[in-house]
A and B are shown apart, each in its own frame.
Chain A
Amino acid sequence: MQPSSRSNFARIAMIIDCFDEVNTPRKSAEIIDLLETSRATGFGLIRALVKSGWLERVDHGIVRLGHKATQLIHIPLEIDQALKDTSQFMKISGTVRTDRQPDRSTANEWRPELIRLVDTTSYKRPGPYRIAFANASLGNPWRKAMLASMRYAERLHGDLIARFDVSDAGDDAKTQLAQVNQFIEDGIDLLIVSQTRFDDKELSDRLSEIADTGLPIIAVDRRPDVPDALVSFVTASDRRIGWVSAMWMAERLNGQGRVWMLSGLEGASPAIRRQSAALAGFANFPGIKIEAVNYTSWTEEGGYNAVDRLLADGAEIPDGVWCDSGLQGIGSLRRFLEEGKALPAHTGGDVNQMYKLALHHKLPFVAVDYPAAMGARAIDIAIDILSGNRVASRLEVPVQVVLPRGSETPSVAADIWAETHVRWELPDNTILSQGPSLRTRAAQIEADNP
């Protein structure tokens, strides 16, 4: 038997994962074959797992998952807040609302794709894999953070990835099409795409052609208008971002007031969905008047200019500014700060600077972070597909509602307090939802400034 480079930790994980959904007993010899290790090591590990209760012996040389494994069902699906430091998370006397209402009827839009599994056995091939990412752009800090998250996952999967090539289309559909064609010409095992424009027919058609040749395609963040071409779509609930932020603002304003809406990039699928969900949320409050809807390209400059134009046209400072991200929210805030008057309530998180500004100026705001960590999940899904594991047709990375203490409204509760979410020690353009790649960056800064 050729010695395997796998560690015993990885072998144990493989043993625990090799039983079917009803825990059908398996022969020890059969399990050892999966491990690609010596019989002595395989039997040694199985004996140790039986001894500790992870496996149980049902007959001579036949085992299945044991009582210790049954205890694993009790798992939180998100961070378990009960374990958090109570002084930070629970001791908020006087600010907890007990009159909270469940979300109103259209708060959530269930997507059956979330529990629809795709059989990927036809895409299974031996590694290491060549993966390419046709990125819409690297034009703002969020997109850079998503790429950092992907790079983190690339390192994590180490020897399973031979190459991970990335292109930057600069939000230009024609450039992206050329880059996708170049990837195909170079020869790849899987394509990840974040499309410049949802309605770009030329690229969508090309992706359909590529999918027909049997090459698996995943979309991340921004999808094309050809769902059948995709094996999976990794995203977060844009609807929830739009809805929750609109509900918070309307309730914060007691259902009365003038609101300006600053959306992201015109034509990009997240911007379309967030805006439409927010408009549906505001529609529940007849006293809320939407005075302006502008696009900002998800840039600070775009946010600043949009507010500047409105003020220059003689508009009065509104009661609220709905932003689908803090990327443009920062620009909006900066422009209002120049006015030197009371700041209107804002929405939009993502960027560290948005939190810093909002907390510093005691601004009423809600942030629903769009997780840049979805980049790493896209790489995980890519590995799963090429390994022949079933994957969900749509995977939503949870979004977190971030509020300053005392800012909860009847239907919007905080997942995390802004005061604990902000990272005062990190640069302004840091994206806080990028997962462990942020830690790497934090560690880097600490190393640079011992």
Chain B
Amino acid sequence: MSENNAYDRAVAQFEAVATAPSEHIISNPAQLSRQANLARATGYRLALLAEAQSVLQREPTGTYRCGSLLLRAGLSALGFGNFAFIAPPLLVELRQSANLTAFLYVISDGTLRIGPYSLGRSSDFVRPNALYQAHSYDPVQAGDQGTLEISCTMPDQTKTQRMTILHGAQSKAGCCGLGLMLPPHLQTVSETGKRALTLAVKRFSAASKERTNED
């Protein structure tokens, strides 16, 4: 069998299209073709397919972003697929209320991973890095409703990011919750922000229980 057959190429094309918006701002199929290193005609065809299949989604401004299929697959791969529908509206609401970057985190196999996030704006703008994977933190117990400050150190040891997280739900795969990222000029989340986080997590927990009961 060839080392790089038609199926390998198809998978490579899928990956190139699916991951392109996480690296660059892409506003049209031509840019997507360039970014994914595809022939223009192929890029156009795959862009339409990707959108129809929810691999990619387009903003009201026309800009591409990763679609709901990818988010669902990512969370399902870690055993947290239940939260793919619940988390996005809650995170957007939390970001709007707290004016800070809001995110879902999951802890499985002893590692905290930052999941989908809604970005804060202007001076409260913090873009979380996929490499924020905390391995040493105070264990978050099931049902823990306390807010705790943790530091996630990047592999190159040059950046530490403060964030406030609040445990929300426990599943077989581990536990998860919501959090807020602190911009450099803030030492702590304001009381209003903490209240918004507590409220969002409460809703998140209730919705998780409801989903678990439904399933």
Binding site for B on A (CB under 8 A): 7-10, 12-14, 16-17, 19-23, 41, 44-45, 47-49, 51-52, 54, 64-85, 90, 92, 96-98, 100-103, 105, 107-108, 110, 112, 114-115, 117, 156-158, 240, 369, 371-373, 376, 380, 390, 392, 396-398, 400, 408, 411, 413-416, 421, 432-436, 438-439
Given contact pairs A10-B49, A76-B117, A400 touches B10 in the complex (Cβ within 8 A):
no
Asked if B139 lies at the interface with its beta carbon under 8 angstroms from chain A, I say: no
Q: How far is A65 from B173 in the complex, measured between Cα atoms in Å? A: 14
Q: In the docked arrangement, what's the CA distance between A82 and B115, Å? A: 17
Interface with A: B121-129, B142-150, B153-161, which one?
Answer: B121-129
Chain A residues with CB under 8 A of B88: 77
Q: Which residues of A contact B52 (CB under 8 A)?
A: 156-158
> How far apart sit A70 and B118, CA to CA, in the bound complex (Å)?
19
Question: Which applies to chain B's interface (DSSP): helix, strand, loop or mixed?
Answer: helix
B71 partner residues in chain A, CB cutoff 8 A:
72-73, 75
Q: Is the CB of A102 within 8 A of B69?
A: no
Known: A20-B76, A73-B116. A103 touches B60 (CB 8 A): no
Name the B residues within 8 Å of A20 (CB-CB).
76, 81
In the assembled complex, the CB of B79 is this many whole angstroms from the nearest CB of chain A, namely 5
Residues of A within 8 A of B10 (CB): 8-9, 12, 45, 48
Of A12, A97, A373, A397, which is within 8 A of B122 by CB?
A: A97
Tell me the smallest distance from the CB of A109 to a CB of chain B, in Å.
10
Chain B residues closer than 8 Å to A66, beta-carbon distance: 77
C-alpha spacing A434/B62, complex, angstroms: 8
Q: Give Cα A355 to B214, complex, Å.
A: 47
- Chain B residues with CB below 8 A from A16, complex form: 69-70, 73
How many positions in chain B have a CB within 8 Å of any CB in the partner chain? Answer: 94
B215 within 8 A of A: yes
Contacts of A82 in B (CB 8 A): 119, 125, 127
Q: Is the CB of B55 within 8 A of A110?
A: no
- Contact of B114 (CB < 8 Å), options: A8, A74, A115: A74
Contact B25–A75 (Cβ < 8 Å): no
CB distance from A394 to the nearest CB of B (A): 9
CA distance A80 to B20 in the complex (A): 13
Q: Which of B73, B92, B185 contacts A398 (CB 8 A)?
A: B92
Interface residues of B in 36-93 (CB under 8 A from A): 45-46, 48-55, 58-63, 65-66, 69-82, 84-86, 88-93
Q: Is the CB of B46 within 8 A of A371?
A: no
A73 and B75 contact, Cβ closer than 8 Å, known pairs A20-B81, A413-B121: yes
CB-CB nearest in chain A for B63:
A79
- What residues of A have a CB within 8 angstroms of the CB of B215 in the complex? 21
A421 to B60, CA, bound (A): 12
Nearest A residue to B114 via CB reads A74
Given the contacts A9-B50, A17-B69, A80-B127, A23 and B118 also touching, CB distance less than 8 Å? no
Q: Is the CB of B115 within 8 A of A73?
A: yes
B170 at the interface (CB under 8 A from A): no
B54 contact set on A, CB distance < 8 A: 13, 380
B187 is an interface residue with CB less than 8 A from chain A: no
A102 to B196, CA, bound (A): 9
- For B213, what are the chain A residues with a Cβ–Cβ distance below 8 Å? none
Residues of A within 8 A of B7 (CB): 8, 41, 44-45, 47-48
- Asked if B130 and A13 sit within 8 Å, CB to CB, the answer is no
- Within 8 Å by CB of A79, from B59, B117, B123, lies B59
Give the Cβ gap from A97 to chain B, nearest Cβ, in Å. Answer: 6
Task: Return B120 CB to nearest CB of chain A, in Å.
Answer: 8
Bound Cα distance from A54 to B8, whole angstroms: 12
Ranked 8 nearest A-B pairs via Cβ:
A21-B81, A72-B74, A73-B74, A65-B77, A8-B10, A82-B127, A413-B121, A48-B7
Add 17 more A-B contacts to A22-B171, A72-B74 (CB < 8 A).
A13-B69, A23-B77, A23-B79, A54-B11, A68-B15, A70-B74, A72-B73, A73-B71, A76-B65, A77-B91, A103-B96, A110-B93, A114-B89, A372-B60, A376-B58, A435-B58, A439-B27
Interface membership of B98, Cβ < 8 A? yes
Q: Are A52 and B58 touching (Cβ within 8 A)?
A: no
* Minimum distance in angstroms from B9 CB to a CB of chain A: 8
Given known pairs A70-B78, A83-B23, A435-B60, the reply for A392 and B85 (CB within 8 Å) is: yes
Which of A157, A158, A411, A439 meets B62, CB within 8 Å? A439
Q: Shortest distance in angstroms between A412's beta carbon and chain B's nearest beta carbon?
A: 9
Among B27, B86, B89, B211, the residue within 8 A (CB) of A396 is B89
Give the chain B neighbours of A414 by CB distance below 8 A: 121-122
Q: How far is the CA of A70 from the CA of B76 in the complex (A)?
A: 8
